[in-house]
Amino acid sequence: GAGVSQSPSNKVTEKGKDVELRCDPISGHTALYWYRQSLGQGLEFLIYFQGNSAPDKSGLPSDRFSAERTGGSVSTLTIQRTQQEDSAVYLCASSPPGSETQYFGPGTRLLVL
Amino acid sequence: GEDVEQSLFLSVREGDSSVINCTYTDSSSTYLYWYKQEPGAGLQLLTYIFSNMDMKQDQRLTVLLNKKDKHLSLRIADTQTGDSAIYFCARDGGFKTIFGAGTRLFVKA
């Protein structure tokens, strides 16, 4: 595709449920990033993948958050036992090899009731 | 986070110039960025500047970098209503990009 795509675009869930958010990076981009943007806040870095490995997971807010990337392409961010404070826009970005410029997807808007 | 700071709001009249300011504390970055986020959309990279440059101009956009003062600014000439958005200042922090909280630009017709 032409850009980074994310699905679903919107997700409403009940507190305590698990959710999976998907990111399809731009073809050929080796680096993939997840960020969280809470209402009125800047972007909070969550995790970064280079290929399939994640050198740094320290940005994940709690052990309820996990992410994986398979085949060096699609990534899934999973939030278990969602809480109301997890409500935010989750943004994914990717970068081509040798570049630090990040290209962002449109985000997934998560609302936990 | 707190490393990159910017004012939260800016209001200008259509046709005027907008200047969005940003300060940062860590001077180790190679690149500094300006991103634009329109309502309901993801972030769009507007422009970036290498840390060894003082200025970069791209059509209506002018980026100024003062490394001594750790100050970055984005000037939008002839601001249009379509420029209304949130503008994020960011710097590269190794494998991640560190963003400010964003400046919401209001353009009055």
Range scoring the smallest mean pLDDT among A31-35, B36-40, B69-73: B36-40
Asked whether the beta carbons of residue B42 and residue A106 sit closer than 8 angstroms, the reply is yes
Higher-scoring residue by pLDDT: A53, B71: B71
- Bridge partner residues of B86 (DSSP): B37, B104
pLDDT at A99: 80
**Tens digits of per-residue pLDDT, A31-44?**
999 999 887 677 88
Instruction: Name the percent of chain A lying above pLDDT 70.
Output: 98
DSSP string, chain A: --S-EEE-SEEEE-TT--EEEEEEPPTT--EEEEEEE-TT--EEEEEEEETTEEEE-TT-SSTTEEEEE-TTS-EEEEE-S--GGG-EEEEEEEE-TT----EE---EEEEE-
Residues of chain B contacting A56 with CB distance shorter than 8 Å? 95-96
Facing residue for A100 by CB, picked from B44, B92, B101: B92
Q: Which of A21-25, B24-28, B29-33 holds the top average pLDDT?
A: A21-25
Give the per-residue pLDDT at B1: 46
Q: Per this entry, what is the length of chain A?
A: 113
**According to the model, what pLDDT value does residue A55 have?**
75
If you average pLDDT over residues B74-88, what whole number do you get? 96
Indicate the SS3 state at residue B98.
strand
Give the distance from residue A41's alpha carbon to the nearest chain B alpha carbon, in angstroms: 5
pLDDT, residue B2, reads 59
Residue B53, classed as helix, strand or coil, is coil
- Least CA distance to B43: which residue of chain A? A104
Q: pLDDT category, B39, cuts 50, 70, 90? A: confident
Q: Please compute the mean of the pLDDT values over residues A54-67 and round it to a whole number.
A: 87
End-to-end CA distance of chain A: 33
Chain A residues within 8 Å of chain B (Cβ atoms) = 4, 31, 33, 35, 40-45, 48, 50, 55-56, 59, 91, 93, 100-107
